[in-house]
Every structure is written in structure tokens, then in C-alpha cells.
Amino acid sequence: MFKNVIVRRPCRAMVDGITTADLGKPDYELALRQHDSYIEALKECGVEVTVLEANEEFPDSCFVEDVALCTKHCVIVTRPGALSRRKEVLQEDMQTALKGFFKNIEYIKEPGTIEAGDIMMVGDHFYIGLSERTNVDGANQMISILEKYGLSGSVVPLKEVLHLKTGLSYIENNNLLVAGEFVLSPIFKDFHKIVINEDDSYSANCIWVNDIVLVPKGYPTTKKAIESFGYKVIEVDTSEYRKIDGGLSCLSLRF
């Protein structure tokens, strides 16, 4: 169960965030309203939400998930693969927030790069995607730190998606949303797979928070499939974040 969540308000510079989506520039005012709704949905799940102020120096800084991996024993501060994001992890308010919640703080060091959007937690095991943003050295450092605290990790080579959780979401109870290259992957053969079709692949990025699943708005087939397993579902519109390669999980640290 999660007790706390950290989010960061989107900055005006988000309209110039990193993107491969080719969906146009985000509407900043709409993005703010969507962020408000996201925070309210999280609160409905019974967590305390810490809201960090927008940081105009970093267009992508609302995607706080990438800068740290929060576990039950420690927080591991990452070293983002995107150069424009590398100093996000050193921002004073983020460091202060993490230190307020975690006694044990670890850091990924050069030449390792890793973004936590490439990491999926399943109990005490962490699947780590090898991507353009996460290299082998970063993954190996992460696994070594996890093992130091009695946790474990393994790597998943990526072929098509930006981040591991672009096409995967673990929603507990051995249920796994899968899309694209992960549908037939033998790595995930022991999970009960809820297959997301290609047209709805964006909705493979959902988040489980205390037996409630947050689902991007506009994907009724995905919503119905998740509800069929007895989960309460809350839809959250993330259209403006999709334009800069972001989804539901990217917008928060949950622990």
C-alpha cells in the first residue's frame, strides 16, 4: 500500500519538452487543469500528496518519476539519460522532499544512466528496461543497490518503446497490462496478461494505488478490462502530457 506521493507542477516551458509524439505542443492551461485532476485522483486513493512548485529551468520536470526510485527500504536517485534532465535530480526542493521521507538515499553514478520510467516494481523485484535513457551500467548499479537492501532486479531489453512502462503496467495480484513488444515476451509469461491492442497502446501506462487503478481517459476497452477484475477505476485525462511523451506513471513518485 502507498502512503505518500510526490508530484511537481508543470512549468510553462513544458510546451518545449522532449517529444517523439508528433501531436503538437501542449496547451499549458489545460495541462494545469489536468494536473489538478491527477492530484485529486491520487488523494481519492488515500495518499498524502506533496506538491513541488514548477521549475522553469527544466521543461520535463513535471515527470518526477524518472528522477528517483522509491522502495520500502531506500530511495535511489537516478542519473537521467536525457542530458537536458540530468540536473533535475539535484534540485533542492526534490532533495529536501526525499530526505524528509527516506533515511537511506542512494545515487546512480557516472557513466551509468537510468530513468525510473524504465523500472517496474513487482513486489520485491524490479524489472529494468534497457533503453536509450537507461544503459547497462545504470541498470547494474541499480540492481547492486537493490540487492544491498534485500531486493532484486533484472534487465529487459527494449526494442520499440521509449520506457519500459510505456508498454507495461503491473496492477498487483499478478495482473499485468501489456502492449506491443511485451505481449509475447517470455520474460512476462508467468503473469496474467491483460493485452492492450495497438490502437490503445498509450493506455498500457496505468497506475495502481491502493487497489484503485488510474487509467488515461478515452480508452473504454482498457477501462472495462481492468474493471472486470474487480478494480475500481478512475479516469484521468493526460492528453497534454502525451504530447511530450508522458503518461500517468511519469507524473508521480509513489511510496
Beta strands at 68-70 and 212-216: parallel, antiparallel or unpaired: unpaired
Which residue range is the domain that position 59 belongs to?
4-254
DSSP SS3 for 200: helix
Q: CA-CA distance, 111 to 104, in Å (whole number)?
A: 22
User: Annotated catalytic sites, by residue?
Assistant: 163, 250
152: domain CATH number is 3.75.10.10
Report the domain count for the chain.
1
CA distances from 13 to 29, 40, 53, 172, 199 (A): 12, 24, 13, 35, 29
Interval 154-167 mean pLDDT = 96
Q: Could you report the per-residue pLDDT of 26-36, keeping only the tens digit for each?
A: 999 999 999 99
Q: Could you report the per-residue pLDDT of 52-61, keeping only the tens digit for each?
A: 999 999 999 9
Q: Could you report the per-residue pLDDT of 73-129, keeping only the tens digit for each?
A: 999 999 999 999 999 999 999 999 999 999 999 999 999 999 999 999 999 999 999
Q: CA-CA distance, 112 to 149, in Å (whole number)?
A: 20
If pLDDT is split at 50, 70 and 90, which confidence band does 155 have? very high
